[in-house]
A and B are shown apart, each in its own frame.
Chain A
């Protein structure tokens, strides 16, 4: 079913669906540079669209409720939790997942730094950590303040800044110290 807009639906008000009725929507997403056409149940989260429909299983599902960060991806360059957004809400938008950041042959500098500093143990949180870390450095660069920034106007990279900004990515293995070293390496702070 194509997505109706309010103009058409004002002529034919959509009846509320009865439980059990499934509503489908067609959409297209630009994922890691390639346009992907999809037909999905409207309930499909962006996370499930990536993992189940597009088979990009690098992005992980931890809590599915916005509490762990394992599902972090970049949408139009900004990090978000893909578990708390619907795929249909991202028609035409650009999504970057861990698969799009780098490849085994050509690692993204953040991926290489995580390998070098052993920024993981089981690795389950790692794709989310890396996507988040890439965006964190851009946010600091752009002067976006954080809870620990002493001045709202002069944001400088520091361990405290990185810890605060990465607090939305939980690591059950507790690899935090090495994750911090990896981000510092890319961010230009001495580890």
Chain B
């Protein structure tokens, strides 16, 4: 790790203001992603703003009948919350499919959303990577790309977003709430929160410099059957090759989002609309325009089959 100074934030607005004052500052929450990357010198903050003392660790009902999840709520606590288990089971299941018990005890709502890719070339500082070192090239495109994106990538980067939680939130139309360094608050629908790489894979979200996530809100419960299915190389403690989050209603309509296939949680209105026609039609809409590599073309079939299994489970 490079040396850094450390402070404890006293309020969300003060944290955002402190981050804006120091160009190399970063927030630290659970630390489970940031410290991993700092040890490898992929992240090199000169100043850490510890947000753990902020009162952002509560789950509260919203006036509209939804839930507001504080940025610091730990993944374990979110998955175990009675309201989440009852009304947003797809989110509880997505959380429980991620990482390990020890990690979920530390990992926070905001940190999980902002965790960085697991692309092996991003992690290996001897390799070119446009996300880590803009302009250096992409090691993965002509390299080992089995885990990487089949859709939504670009000539510059085909990394996937590794979060399970975010895929559940995408299926539920969550909204990210933030506070900016000038004290203004904003609401960012999760659809537009993560960005596609285009020419600038180093820019991953809609957040401005210093902007602090304060909460994620969920709209009122929509009912239906909630399923999260994750396909991976080990039964546990492994990132997704493909994951499917789905909320399916009795008439066969619903919402579906994918993990492991794109630079962001992947959802398309056409695919939701095609759900009553079955997995093949919906998967085709999700994978429209896909540009897989030789290594990861298997994901196209895997998406269709996993979605098929999810729809069968929802019907049973």
Contacts and interface: CB of A to CB of B under 8 A. Distances in A.
Contacts of B36: 65-66, 84
A127 B22 CA distance: 40
B171 interface: no
A42 B48 contact: yes
B11 A6 contact: yes
A169 B15 CA distance: 35
Contact of A165 (B85, B93, B97, B101): B101
Interface size class of B (residues with CB under 8 A): 35 or more
Interface in B1-52: 1-11, 14-15, 17-18, 21-25, 28, 30-32, 35-36, 39, 46-50, 52
A33 interface: no
Interface stretch (B102-110, B151-159, B192-200): B102-110
B21 A42 contact: no
A165 B36 CA distance: 22
A36 B6 CA distance: 20
B7 A89 contact: no
Contacts of B4: 17, 23, 42-43
A143 B31 contact: no
B218 interface: no
B160 to A, nearest CB: 19
B3 A20 contact: yes
Contacts, number: 150
B102 A10 contact: no
A78 interface: yes
B237 interface: yes
Contacts of A147: 93, 96-97, 236
B98 to A, nearest CB: 9
Interface residues of A, number: 53
A84 B101 CA distance: 14
B288 interface: no
A81 interface: yes
Interface string A44-79: 010000000000000000001110010010000011
B89 interface: yes
B80 interface: yes
A10 B93 CA distance: 42
Interface string A145-159: 111010011000000
Nearest to A78: B105
A41 B76 CA distance: 30
A66 B103 contact: yes
Contacts of B25: 16
B102 A132 contact: yes
A42 B6 contact: yes
Given A9-B18, A86-B35, A168-B103, A152 B89 contact: yes
A75 B1 CA distance: 23
Contacts of B6: 3, 23, 25, 42, 86, 88
Contacts of B105: 78-80
Contact of B10 (A5, A13, A84, A164): A5
B237 A85 contact: no
Given A42-B5, A79-B102, A152 B236 contact: no
Looking at A64, A79, A84, A135, the one whose CB has the most chain B CB atoms below 10 A away is: A84
A93 B160 CA distance: 36
A144 B48 CA distance: 32
B102 A168 contact: yes
27 contacts: A3-B8, A5-B10, A6-B14, A6-B17, A10-B18, A13-B21, A14-B7, A17-B3, A17-B46, A20-B3, A23-B4, A42-B48, A43-B4, A66-B36, A69-B100, A84-B32, A84-B35, A84-B103, A84-B106, A88-B50, A135-B101, A144-B80, A146-B96, A149-B96, A152-B85, A153-B85, A167-B236
Interface of B: 1-11, 14-15, 17-18, 21-25, 28, 30-32, 35-36, 39, 46-50, 52, 76, 79-80, 85, 89, 92-93, 96-97, 99-103, 105-106, 235-237
For the complex of A and B, 8 pairs with smallest distance between CB atoms? A168-B100, A16-B46, A167-B236, A6-B14, A152-B85, A167-B237, A42-B6, A147-B96
